[in-house]
Amino acid sequence: MRSSGLDFTVLKAGVVYGRGDHLLDHLARSIMTIRLFALVGLRDAPVRPVAVEDVVRIFEAALAGRLSRRTLAVTGPELLPFSGAVRRVAQAVGRHVYVFPAPVWFHRVLAWGLERVMSIPLISLAQVRMLAEGIAEPLPGCDLPPDDLAPRRAFTIGQIRAGLPDLRAFGWEDLRCRSGKTA
């Protein structure tokens, strides 16, 4: 792409959160269903959740041509262990959650099965891969956004609550056989 002569901007976003996302939606619904949460891997990987509003602001600057011919890492301002993100979501929904490590192979098997039985799986193989590899640090070859565009919204209880969907547990309606969706 870079040698094509075409203008481009590549945004490599980490974990994006906001209304309609998979992070808040799935975490909140998981916590409403069961108070146990298995981390992907035996170590608590760090994350930098980035608010969708911050991503949109950078995207708008890219569309305006301000970030032409650049590859940007778009991550949130706060580095925290994934267990910390899970506990904040639990706090935002008013529940206590027990977080424990589980091997990556366990999540791969779980994701494989859930992708086959749920219309929108609780966890996907792609999500397991991302969480196992780590998504907190920019990849080589990525610049950070300019200071005035750098994400600043922290992963606070207020930000989390603003992005939460209707709180409900996972149930029978989430299964493919019940929702009418097939593979």
Residue extents of the structural domains in the chain: 8-158
Q: What are the residue ranges in the chain where pLDDT is below 50? A: 183
Confidence (pLDDT) at 78: 94
Confidence (pLDDT) at 140: 80
The single residue listed with the structure tokens 């580095």 is: 79
Question: Regarding beta strands 46-47 and 80-81, do their DSSP bridges make them parallel or antiparallel, or are they unpaired?
Answer: antiparallel
Q: The whole model's pTM is what?
A: 0.85
- List, for residues 66-87, the tens digit of each pLDDT value: 999 999 999 999 999 999 999 9
Confidence (pLDDT) at 176: 83
Confidence (pLDDT) at 138: 77
CATH number, span 8-158: 3.40.50.720
Confidence (pLDDT) at 14: 83
